[in-house]
Structure 1
Amino acid sequence: MIHARRIASSLAAATLLATPAIAQRNFDNVEIKTEEIAPGVAVLFGAGGNIGVSHGEDATLIIDDQFAPLSEKIERAIANLGATPVKYVVNTHWHFDHTGGNENFGKTGATIFAHDNVRVRMEAGGEAAGNSTPPAPPEALPVVTYAQGLRFHLNGDTINLMFLGGGHTDGDSVVFWDEDNIVHMGDLYFKIPGYPFIDVGSGGSVYSAMRSLDIVIAMINDETKVIPGHGPMSNKAELVAYREMIGKAVSRVEELRAQGMTLEQAVAAKPLADFNRGEGFIGPDAFVTAIWNSAAIAD
């Protein structure tokens, strides 16, 4: 029953991500659910990207912060863990369903960390998932940025922020808790119905995504707890299956390109018709298009 509720929550999050005019949405009925996955480590599920939490005697760090109207609910959920107010925020990438709470947490004194390109894209604003995101106010911008990674020694853990080449966007960070054997994937991994979201307009590429996934898979083991960007908790086996699905889809689209088809012909050929991914935020036609555009850029 808990699993079913989380799937429903994930689908709601995906719907919000795909809907224009997010600022006009009513978040009153959104419930922040908490799952503790190790001592001092938890995941918050609500609307938008899953939030990772590290808490303990040193400070509270969160990974992503969903939408601005949910900040108070998020703060209450964190307090209910017995944690102190948020001191550090890590953004896995720039999309508004992962950075919407930045301004609120920034105003309360939290320091925001992210890859260099996250700050660049938030400063400029732009299009993502059919939505126009305005330039972020100063309080919402990452204060500490990095090209390759950063390491926290916090709450008895070594927490590594790593840029592995991106793929969902050009600024994706993956976050590892070394001692607790946990990884937060950001939107490099969706565990919800539908297909991966490759935001080519934000520098994403399916080929970069596959390389990033391959690196993570090589770094983790069967006991690793995997936090997806959207959806319930996962593991290495499911992440491997996700990567294999992407590779199979890419091979099929590449075959159609090699035959001299146009993008329109490739989409009409329905190369993913037997994948059975269900109805989701990203449908098969959109994923075929993202693969095609990734290949065109790589040419």
Structure 2
Amino acid sequence: MKNLLNCLLLLSISLGFTQSRFDNVEIKSEKLSDNVYVLFGAGGNIGISVGDDGVFVIDDQFAPLSNKILAEIKKLSDKPLQFLVNTHWHGDHTGGNENMAKAGATIIAHDNVKVRLQNPRRDGSNNPKEALPVITFNDKLNITINGEPIAVFHVANAHTDGDALLYFTESNVLHTGDTYFKGRYPYIDLNSGGSVNGYIEAAKRGLMVIDENTKIIPGHGTVSNKEEYQSFLKMLETIKTNISKAIAEGKTEDEVKADSSLTKQYDDLGYGSGFINSERIRTTFYKSLKGE
């Protein structure tokens, strides 16, 4: 009984900490066009379209932030939620799915996102059915809302196996999801079907649909542009070249992980200051490229 009480106490402390870490998070919006906004908070950046048809949302961060997110959306529009698109399955982009569905949103995502959200979570529990996509797609999807066609297209095996990019064709705004981390090394989730080559191809695909005036919502980081997006792609290709050469020379994973010269050019620019540091990006590139 004592052990049980101790476990319950630790659980309550843990849950309290989980909630408290979001208490001071502020949701801020930035206007990108007449009807498109980006919301910043904790987790993946949120895209918003508002207008006569209602509210269209891209990603929803973490569940404890849903009330704050919905309150910020209310400042932009008094219309009901219509659709929510998940750019991929990770919890910092889908954690609020259940709450958004209960608020009226119909959830849309790639086929693989639904499959992954149906799998048991790390604690063994399952996502409730309200958190799952109602509409899924395989390759691409077109949605017209608030007088604007939105192109939704899948990029294969990039950040994960279910990534989607969304392009607002009239507003000239691109939401990349986590296929773009502005000014930092990206997280390439190899365990969820992500790959270096697929990630590079995703950046190339995104660059194909934009111009110098496009405003880009990255998965993480502030609003970006074509020049910065191109620099990000160059970083990916440079590191791929360096690590492919090391692999060809017979270097081991540990040797590549320890060789800071392979990423020094971008380490010096601060790319390793985020969630993925320089050692981790070298390891990820090695594992992916070696496996392919």
Query: What TM-score do you get using the length of structure 2 for normalisation?
Result: 0.89
Query: Are 1:55 and 1:83, in contact at CA under 8 Å, matched by a contact in 2?
Result: no
Q: Please state if 1:59 is matched with 2:54.
A: yes
Q: Residue in 2 aligned with 1:158?
A: 149
1:128-167 equivalences under 5 Å are 134-167=125-158
Q: Residue in 2 aligned with 1:11?
A: none
Report deviation, 1:109: 2.8
Q: Residue in 2 aligned with 1:295?
A: 289
Cα displacement string for residues 153-195 of structure 1 (whole angstroms, at most 9, x for unaligned residues): 1101001111022400110000000111110000001115x31
Give the partner amino acid of 2:163: D
Report deviation, 1:25: 4.7
Q: Residue in 1 aligned with 2:42?
A: 47
Q: Residue in 2 aligned with 1:122?
A: 117
Q: Residue in 1 aligned with 2:274?
A: 280
Q: Residue in 1 aligned with 2:93?
A: 98
Q: Residue in 2 aligned with 1:74?
A: 69
Does 1 or 2 have the higher relative contact order (CA < 8 Å, sep 6+)?
Answer: 1
Report deviation, 1:108: 2.5
- Give 3-state SS (helix, strand or coil) of 2:276's partner: coil
Report deviation, 1:254: 0.6
Q: Percent identity?
A: 43
Between 1:266-275 and 1:225-234, the stretch displaced more is 266-275
Report deviation, 1:124: 0.6
CA distance in 2, matches of 1:185, 1:277: 22
Q: Please state if 1:206 is matched with 2:200.
A: no
1:166/1:148 CA distance change after superposition, 3 Å: same
The number of equivalent residue pairs is 274
2:215 counterpart (218, 225, 231):
225
Higher Cα Rg, which structure:
2
- Give 3-state SS (helix, strand or coil) of 2:219's partner: coil
Q: Structure 2 unaligned runs (5+)?
A: 1-13
CA distance in 1, matches of 2:211, 2:20: 40
Q: Please state if 1:110 is matched with 2:105.
A: yes
Query: Are 2:19 and 2:64, in contact at CA under 8 Å, matched by a contact in 1?
Result: no
CA distance in 1, matches of 2:49, 2:64: 22
